[in-house]
């Protein structure tokens, strides 16, 4: 399939590049709708590997790249089921999103996340599966999960650890702070920082450059340098579900959902 228009995202294959655009208001929160669309994307990715050379993931929304998991949906769903079923539902969601993330991570195509604005939680984790992150100077990265009593659940910690020094991982994870694109480049998370509104243009130029190389060599290089930390990813799902069972999580989610303050994204 060369193009797709879903409720939360769309993609198009043109001139050897697949562009995946996120467009779910308010800031591409990842809930069941986005997951279903991402699963469709993952299911066709292998089928376009001979026609495409690169994938660009970006947000079509001005508000940012992605604010992470849809916590409102998570909270509302968990309110309508008993505790055991809620945990089972969370595990099922995590298994599915991990499958999608692993497919994108392992794709022989070179993947580029072109990010701007809020790149938080699950959005940060989506960017981390990509081979390159090109960031608008106004991009901001954060793992705010600990303030809810959780850890990142979409593969964030193992992938961040794969890419960065453990000290930076601990700072991001344990303080829940955010940092900007310049800092992200300093620590090695982002490969290019560009002016406001320029990340997609630069990602396209980067994709055009990498198309010049032999596809098998590019795929082999990627496979060599970017192993998928499968064992740690499995343990992450188990730990997330264990933590999700704690009463503090429900209280944290309720606070997030009910707050009207202008600072809900600030830990």
Partner 1 sequence: MRTPDQTLGEILTLAATHFKVPRGKLTPDDDFFKTLGIDSLQTLDLLTRLEHHFNVELPDYELQGVSDFRTLADKIQARL
Q: Is 226 in the site for partner 1 (CB under 8 A)?
A: no
Q: Which of 29, 202, 226, 197 is nearest to 113 (CA)?
A: 202
What is the CB-side half-sphere exposure of residue 164 using CA atoms within 13 A? 23
Q: Is 176 in the site for partner 1 (CB under 8 A)?
A: yes
The region of 51-59, 77-85, 148-156, 177-185 touching partner 1 under the rule CB under 8 A is 177-185
Q: Is 180 in the site for partner 1 (CB under 8 A)?
A: yes
DSSP three-state, residue 27: coil
Q: Which of 3, 76, 79, 182 binds partner 1 (CB under 8 A)?
A: 182
d(CA 55, CA 46): 12
C-alpha distance from residue 78 to each of 26, 169, 178, 260 (Å): 22, 30, 28, 21
Residues 101-160 that bind partner 1 (CB under 8 A): 117-118, 137-138, 140, 142
Q: Is 263 in the site for partner 1 (CB under 8 A)?
A: yes
Q: Is 69 in the site for partner 1 (CB under 8 A)?
A: no
d(CA 94, CA 112): 23
What is the nearest approach in angstroms of partner 1 to the Cβ of residue 115? 13
CB-nearer residue toward partner 1: 33 or 180: 180
What is the nearest approach in angstroms of partner 1 to the Cβ of residue 30? 16
Q: Which of 22, 59, 64, 237 binds partner 1 (CB under 8 A)?
A: 64
C-alpha distance from residue 176 to each of 34, 129, 140, 168, 179 (Å): 25, 20, 12, 12, 10
Q: Which of 49, 163, 179, 229 binds partner 1 (CB under 8 A)?
A: 179
Q: Which of 63, 102, 185, 191 binds partner 1 (CB under 8 A)?
A: 63
Alpha helices (runs of H) in the chain, residue ranges in sequence order = 32-45, 71-79, 83-106, 122-128, 156-163, 166-175, 181-186, 199-210, 215-225, 230-244, 247-258
Which residues contribute to the site for partner 1 (CB under 8 A)?
A: 26-27, 63-64, 67, 117-118, 137-138, 140, 142, 175-180, 182-183, 261-267
């Amino acid at each position: 399939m060369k193009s797709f228009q879903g409720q939360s995202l769309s993609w198009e294959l043109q001139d050897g590049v697949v562009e995946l655009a996120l467009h779910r208001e308010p800031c591409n929160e990842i809930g069941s709708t986005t997951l279903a669309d991402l699963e469709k994307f993952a299911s066709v990715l292998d089928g376009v590997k001979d026609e495409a050379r690169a994938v660009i993931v970006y947000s079509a929304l001005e508000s940012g790249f992605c604010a992470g998991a849809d916590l409102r949906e998570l909270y509302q769903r968990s309110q309508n089921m008993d505790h055991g079923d809620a945990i089972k539902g969370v595990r099922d969601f995590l298994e599915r999103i991990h499958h999608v993330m692993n497919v994108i991570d392992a794709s022989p195509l070179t993947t580029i996340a072109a990010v701007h604005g809020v790149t938080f939680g699950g959005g940060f984790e989506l960017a981390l599966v990509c081979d390159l992150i090109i960031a608008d100077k106004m991009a901001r990265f954060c793992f705010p999960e600990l303030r809810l009593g959780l850890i990142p659940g979409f593969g964030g910690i193992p992938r961040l650890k794969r890419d960065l020094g453990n000290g930076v991982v601990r700072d991001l994870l344990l303080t829940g702070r955010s940092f900007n694109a310049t800092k992200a480049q300093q620590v090695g998370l982002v490969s290019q920082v560009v002016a406001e509104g320029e990340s997609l243009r630069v990602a396209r130029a980067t994709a055009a450059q990498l198309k010049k190389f032999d596809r098998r060599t590019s795929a082999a290089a990627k496979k060599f340098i970017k192993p998928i930390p499968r064992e740690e990813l499995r343990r992450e799902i188990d730990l997330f579900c264990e933590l999700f069972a704690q009463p503090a999580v429900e209280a944290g989610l309720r606070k997030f959902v009910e707050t009207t303050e202008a600072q809900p994204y600030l830990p």
